[in-house]
Chains A and B, each alone.
Chain A
Amino acid sequence: MKPLDPRLVRTADAVRTHLAVTVVSGVLITGLILIQAWLLARVITGAWAGEGMDALGWMIAAVAAVAVARALLSYLAEASALHSAARTKSQLRRRLVAHVTGSGKVWLAEGGDREDGAPRAGELVTLATRGLDALDEYFSRYLPQLVLACIVPFAVLAVVFWADWISGAVILVTLPLIPVFMALIGMHTQQRTERQWRLLSRLGGHFLDVVEGLPTLAVFRRAKAQAAIIRGVGEDHRRATMGTLRIAFLSAFALELLATLAVALVAVEVGLRLLGGHMDYQTALLVLILAPEAYLPLREVGARFHASMEGVAAADQVFTELDRRRETAGPGAAGDEAAGQAPAPTGAPSPAAAGDIRFEGVGLLYPGRDVPALSGLDLTVRAGERLLLTGPSGSGKTTLLSLLLRLGEPTEGRISVRAPGGEWTPLDRLPADDWRLGIAWVPQHPYLFDVSVADNIRLGAPDADMERVREAARLAEADGFVSALPDGYGTRLGERGARLSAGQRQRIALARAMCRDAPLVLLDEPTAHLDPENAKAVRTAVTRLLEGRTAVIVAHDTGWAESVLGENLRTAALPLLTREAHR
């Protein structure tokens, strides 16, 4: 992994500011280190030679000044680093969110965005928050040390060479050994460590597995017996980990050993030449004080490498994500508005939603898949009818709804719509936002947001007043339990609507659809996972929702349909592979 990702520098201007600040403060700190070393050597030598406070006083005062200056510099550098880190994280996050949400292409359950290796929503959230937080360490600790590691050793080396070329030569020879040794050890051990880490994560997972399975173990009276196994696995875990660590610590060992040993060699060599009269005391002291400084930044960079690389890795994942979606947006899935075919959205519902819909040879192949989710579909949905779609899982029922919602565009064939009394128009010529305004959708697992019940219901009609919200809830058989919540319609639902049961969530989603008041209704398995009581309430609500509207309903279980959906019912079983199938 690169210590400094060029994409990071390009993307976030906060990074560029930070780099500039870091380099400037690095140069200043290097200067202060050299000045302090010279002052210390000079004062100690002066006192040895019999100079008193009057002669040395200004130099001692200068040491204090250097201390204050260094403190100020460290403070400013650290504060600026944390500041830049916060801004960089924000810039990366905003780009990520804009990128992920911007395309409007969010495939539904059967869809392909999980298939091309893209992270799941939960992973993206972790990445955008905790993952990027690791950049703090990278910015405030690693980058400054990296800059120092690039400046200080050379500056120290130059000064030591100028003062005493033999000591300079010792440092010049040992200094490059450190990165070389670390790389050599790293290469040798990497493979072995990786294998060990895999074993470790398996052993670590065992404890979690057993704790999660504790109720099951208790049922079979095996709970207490497992303690011995956990002890054994813990012992294996320790042995394996120690095996890994013995090797992993080797590179730190090489670094520490070389750095200290080199300082010891310089000290002895300088001491012997001083003894022999080949060198003066002040130079010897200067060399001794400066020698450890040449190695210090390298040690610090080494010590902080792993912690800091987490931040770089998180940034790397963000960039991968930014690139990925761009690549996988295939020809059919390309942004429709971006292609310039559709006029700008008007903000008014498209009249076509109240009319007929025609599928002609429509198919969809999700990016990264071999088998199409849907192919050669010919189907007409006439205004006012209720089309019940049945078929085994995987036959493309949900995909069809997804296409109607324009969450994706077909990769073959086309969908046309016709407003009452109008002409057939290809669906992709309509602004997606206007088209969706005419649709009310109740998915199989509706998502409820961590806002109030009322705001959840008026998701698709933000201007709806409380009267309309309450009426929608009443029609959806939701008014009763919502009113019983602590704050009624003002109750926050918690993450993913955790407060409510599956049946209640379904009824809120129906209220949402009622509130949207759209001419076209799409329902996906409205009662699949509900207990009989909730299922009954949902069926009642569905009957009301469908009154006077066109509907496409996906259902596995069709027994209830006849009585609920009424006389305008037509059933179509997927897959519909022939043009005659819908007749």
Chain B
Amino acid sequence: MAKPLPALVRLHLTGLRVILVFTVVCGLAYPLLITGIAQVAFSRQANGSQLRQNGQVVGSSLLGQTFDLPKKNPNDPKEQARPDPKWFQPRPSAAGAGYDATASGASNLGPNDPGLTQTIHDRRAAVAAFDGVAPGRVPPDALTASGSGLDPDISPAYAYQQVDRVAKARGLDAAKVRQLVEDHVQDRNLGFLGGPRVAVVPLNLALARIG
């Protein structure tokens, strides 16, 4: 008969057996159970709250997108993106080249970073000129990148600021566009959780529907 294993080896094997048991219970059974329930009961949420236009998936109501003009030269990675005046614009993004969901993340630049300070001054001038408002009125969320780089929302102030520019670019009645924004403003959850906001992609989808 083989000699019993030394106590220390047996102890590690006990540890390994615990891991294997719980890999089955917590690592496979549990997430698969939740996935099953989620897919049956909450399939819209579980699959990423997708938005469709003419049957085609065009994004997720939870993930922001860029709304830029087509590049002049699609093969030039250095070409600056130019915002398309026909769309409500999202916040600046540090995820990849902008709203890249394969590279979520923040700028991670510090509160005193000279580069970030300059970038914010430049953004203020550019956004003010683009939307035709006084630079002092541009809200903070229009000037800063979010934590995820995928922020789906902008502040109601930034949304209203863009109404006239969007209406003009699309040849629509400004009152109609303003009404659309009003319909898309979400208050804090339960009145006190988080911040008031406007989800940009659903707003733009609704905008595309009215012309």
A, B co-complexed: no
